[in-house]
Structure 1
Amino acid sequence: MIDKLELLLALAKERHFGRAAESCGVTQPTMSTSLKQLEEILGVMLVQRGSRFQGFTPEGERTLDWARRIVGDVRSMRQEIKTLKDGLSGEIRIAAIPTVLGMVAALTTPFRARHPDVRFRIVSCTSAEVLGLLENLEVDAGLTYIENEPLGKVRSVPLYHETYRLLTSPDGLFGDRDQVTWREVGQVPLCLLTPDMQNRRIIDRALKAVGTEAQPTLTSNSIIVLYTHVKTGRWASVMPAKLAETLGFSEAVRSIPIVDPLVSYSIGLVVPPREPLTPLIAALVQVAREVAPTLEA
């Protein structure tokens, strides 16, 4: 039964029979047979079939919810038994929004010092993708905003509050100021993240609240692209204060606090709501709670 539920989850991820079968290391006929057997066991149709994958039936969607829960519990059981035998080891997969990538090492470094046999895989994606990957068991944890947009069924650990800076050259517009307002920021040509990023939506809302809007001269889904442009001293951007501190800029760039109003959002670790947590994730949550006060400092 578990192997059939794993195949169902793979199909939900890939939305394509051939790719799902390949990801599970089986042939497409084997996958089709297994899914039909699962339908016979449950007595309902799960997949809308045609010449290609057309989606899941309502019963299939509900079965997916159970499959995520059951498969997640089985994986947790296997990991816990392995930990009892061999100690904490394995890989933790973390999905992180681009603006928190600069602080991931503040979490992973003390964790690995305590558990040297654990490996990490970090992927960068949008906040919506973080939650989707977590729900589909494709990652073990996420780093994202935890109070701005709906999170769904997750457990969260607050890490720090994100505030914002105008990054510009000393001779640029408002470059000689000790602080700027959001209305003034709206007058500056900026390079920003793309609109699908929650950080960009936060900036757009902050500007809209004071009756203005962003004037982007460049957009990208990559913080590195924004960083390399701003670092030249010829471009301006709005970035979280902690990210700006982590990246570091030359004397050609000033980091100016944005006030009036002061905008702040909570960043945190999100993990599945499963009880008990896997040993790896329980250890990650413990380290996150320990480092949070240092991140807020």
Structure 2
Amino acid sequence: MCRNRNAPFVVLLFVLTACDRTPARITTTATDSDTVVVNSQRPTPLPATILTRNGSVLEDAPVQWRLVAGSGIALSHRGEVDCQTTADLRVEARSGAASRVFSVLCRPIAMVQAMPSVDLRLGDGPTDYSIGALTAKRIPVRQIAGVVAMADTSVAVLRDGRIVARAIGHTYLRVQAGDCDVAVGVRVQDPVDTPDAIAPYRPYETEFTLAPNEVRSWRPPAGLTLVHLLSEPATAPNISSPMKFGVLFANCANFRQTYRALSCVMTDSSVVAVRNTRTTSSPVRLRLDAMPQTPGSPKPKRVPSESHGNKLCPHYLG
């Protein structure tokens, strides 16, 4: 039987290593990068994690910071940087004998630029979305350290930076960067082939040509319905046009769009009608959207109150 005469020494060395609380390495909290991007317009603590030789994190280890290169940006000894303008800095973080120099990119975001909403069809492939950021002078910000997440992943998910529809309904794409916390609506629809089959998130859309004085009509089901005449752009809802458009036996109001549209409470007798009073044939594109009103209809999750932007970072609809 062999004995390890060094066993007590090995155990003691293991204990000493496990209890070692000497700072050996400084890294960023998210990634081990030498570059930190700051998008906030308010004083922001720079991230730093202090590690021992065996990789353990020293939670309460003090860190001192100093400016190595750059000017015009305030940096406290505790590592709080005030990025009021765009600038590049070099800073040193030190804890005990451990030190590291980081590049700090001050890229303050004054507003988020995004589309008002994203419309998807069930069964379509992954869809791109457009989100950007601007300075107070509306100059694009290229370096962004932020988080993008889908509020309701049963409706849609993010996959490889694109949106994938999963079920009909409505959710929000939440964007958090710097002082910004905004939400972009995401709607997943499954179109139907006949107007009597419309339901929430199951719209009906048709394109055709009307001959001179020809009339077409449709009978949607009872309920709140949006009627869009997409082939007739208009800056005012009551614009005079040879394409006559209206809904009979329904309670309707003009629906504000850049084209002609109505919001109507339909009955079983309601009729949507379009008539071409031109002397030539004209193309027509009509859309009927049933709005959620009945129990059990898919309803959008309530958008977080802070997600409409704030005084520091409004949501600019691009």
Give the shorter-chain TM-score range.
under 0.3
TM-score (norm 2): 0.26
Structure number with the higher helix fraction is 1
